[in-house]
Structure formats: structure tokens, C-alpha cells
């Protein structure tokens, strides 16, 4: 019985997180956070206070209102400002994710073999 209490509580926690989860980021926020402001120094459209970014945000809102898909919107901006405008390059550059994971895997194997010794 004593062991059951934390397990029950834990499952309540998991259920709460699944059923009550609410994503506060609107589609506009998600997209404006993944597009770089081309005239600023390393800031996204969402963050940048510049007027240029403001104009771009207006265009982005129109695109969302017109029902363009995420891919269409990203393609539009990339074609005008180059790929560097996309702040999520890991989707096209999987090596970025795979290489560190591979390193981690090797470390883990070495570590595991030491434990077995």
C-alpha cells in the first residue's frame, strides 16, 4: 500500500499533463520565432523591435490569415532572403542532431563497458 501512493500520484501527474496541456504559442508566434529578422543581429521576427521586422510581421499575419501552410510560408521567406532566415535548420541538416547523438552513444557504450568490468 505504502508503495502504491507515489505511483498513483505519479500517474495523476502524467494524466494532468496530457489532458490539461495547453499550447500558448499561436501559429503566428511559432512562425515568427522561426524566421530571422534579416536586418537585425541574430534576432527573430518575434523578438526584433525594428520597423523592418514589423513590416515583415504584417506580411506574415496576412499569409496566416490567407491560410498558407507552414511550408509555403517558410519557402516564401527563404526564396527572398536565403536559407539563413530559417532558424530551424536542423530539419534539413539532420547531421546536426545525429552527430551529437552518435557521440553520446559512443560515450554511453564506453561507460557501460567500464561498469561491466
Residues that bind other proteins (CB under 8 A): 2, 5-6, 9-10, 12-14, 16-18, 20-24, 29, 33-34, 36, 41-44, 46-51, 54, 82-90, 93, 96-97, 99-101, 103-104, 107, 111, 114-115
* Count of beta carbons in the 10 Å neighbourhood of residue 81: 16
Residues 6+ apart with CB under 8 A from 45: 32, 33, 35, 36, 37, 53, 56, 57, 60
Q: How far is the CB of 36 from other proteins (least distance, A)?
A: 5
Give yes or no for a contact between 57 and 32, defined as CB atoms under 8 angstroms apart: yes
Q: How far is the CB of 68 from other proteins (least distance, A)?
A: 20
Q: Which residue's CB is nearer to other proteins, number 72 or number 105?
A: 105
Q: Which residue's CB is nearer to other proteins, number 27 or number 84?
A: 84
Distance (Å, whole) CA 54 – CA 115: 56
Q: How far is the CB of 72 from other proteins (least distance, A)?
A: 20
Q: How far is the CB of 65 from other proteins (least distance, A)?
A: 14
Distance (Å, whole) CA 66 – CA 60: 10
Amino acid at each position: 500500500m505504502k508503495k502504491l501512493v507515489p505511483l498513483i500520484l505519479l500517474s495523476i501527474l502524467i494524466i494532468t499533463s496530457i489532458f490539461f496541456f495547453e499550447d500558448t504559442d499561436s501559429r503566428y508566434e511559432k512562425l515568427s520565432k522561426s524566421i530571422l529578422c534579416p536586418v537585425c543581429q541574430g534576432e527573430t521576427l518575434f523578438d526584433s523591435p525594428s520597423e523592418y521586422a514589423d513590416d515583415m510581421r504584417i506580411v506574415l499575419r496576412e499569409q496566416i490569415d490567407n491560410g498558407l501552410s507552414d511550408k509555403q510560408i517558410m519557402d516564401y521567406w527563404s526564396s527572398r532572403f536565403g536559407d539563413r532566415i530559417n532558424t530551424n535548420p536542423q530539419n534539413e541538416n539532420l547531421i546536426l542532431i545525429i552527430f551529437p547523438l552518435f557521440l553520446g552513444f559512443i560515450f554511453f557504450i564506453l561507460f557501460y563497458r567500464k561498469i561491466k568490468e
